[in-house]
Amino acid sequence: MSGKAEIKLGNVQKTLLFPLWGRVKESQKANPLLIDTTAVQLIERIDYDFSTMEKNLDEISQLGWIARCIHIDRTVKQFLEKHPDATVVNIGCGLDTTFERVDNGTLRWYDLDLPEVVDLRRMLIPEHERRKYITSSIFDTRWFDEIVVDDNILFIAAGLLYYFDEAEIKKLFLKMANTFPNSEIIFDATSPFGVKMANRMVIKRGGMDEESFLVWGLKGANKIEKWDKRITVLDDYPYFYGVNLKKQGMGLTIKFKAALFNFFKASFMVHLKFQSS
């Protein structure tokens, strides 16, 4: 027995290993854009062969996961400046370690995912008074009843929503608006072109099958505002916007690919607010 945690996840759930691997790769660089010591510790405790990812995934994919972390970390920290006792709900948390990077010592945090993922998390990362786990599908909104809000609430959804149909996401957002007025959500989205590219260049090359394919392609954040008058887009921007690619002395090829991603907005961040009326 290796003493490591065995991965017993469904096809879609296994994609949570991509960003974990990406954060570890970044943390091991000489001049990293992001350091995630918790991710480095976690990957050593997981019984999984990452060689297919190591061999087949290109640098732009790994950099995309880091850019997403940078944007989400910044948004959470800015939210906490306004609401230091805020509640943050990480829906579809996977093996995300945002809490460890942004904790201000007073926030209330919930990590939500399916049973097999939460079971794995509990083996690796213990809960505590301000950091709780919720076992649920994101669409079974009975989990709303478990959320305690002392100040305001921010939802984060990293690498999640594009695995579902748009109609499902719309229904979820409207329920959030009904239950948590004035709350906010930040998530990453992918254009229809980006969905096709990700399925071909990341999912297949990373050793996953078609059951793990992305589904929802969003042409622009302004489309979501049309779902309901209470939904307001606070910000939306391409993945690599504001990411200091010069910091690592990256070559022209990776800079060109990042510029293309930004120009075509293949992948982008969306920050919404659910207004009270």
**pLDDT tens digits along 130-181:** 999 999 999 999 999 999 999 999 999 999 999 999 999 999 999 999 999 9
DSSP state of 151: S
pLDDT at 252 over 90: no
Q: What are the backbone angles phi and psi of residue 90, rounded to the nearest 5°? A: -95, 95
Is the CB of residue 212 less than 8 Å from the CB of residue 11? yes
How much of the chain exceeds pLDDT 70, in percent? 90
Is the CB of residue 70 less than 8 Å from the CB of residue 240? no
Model pLDDT for residues 179-224, shown as the tens digit of each residue: 999 999 999 999 988 887 777 655 544 445 555 678 899 999 999 9
CA distances from 76 to 139, 185, 186 (A): 23, 10, 9
Rounded distance between C-alpha atoms, residue 53 and residue 123, angstroms: 24
The pLDDT mean for the chain works out to 88
Is the CB of residue 113 less than 8 Å from the CB of residue 89? no
Between 200 and 21, residue with greater pLDDT: 21
Q: What pLDDT was estimated at residue 1?
A: 38
pLDDT at 57 over 70: yes
Q: Which of 24-33, 198-207, 244-253 has the highest mean pLDDT?
A: 24-33
Which of 38-42, 100-104, 243-247 has the least mean pLDDT?
243-247
Max CA-CA distance within the chain? Answer: 57
Which of 101-105, 124-128, 172-176 has the least mean pLDDT?
124-128
Q: Which pTM value belongs to this model?
A: 0.90
Domains of the chain are: 5-274 (3.40.50.150)
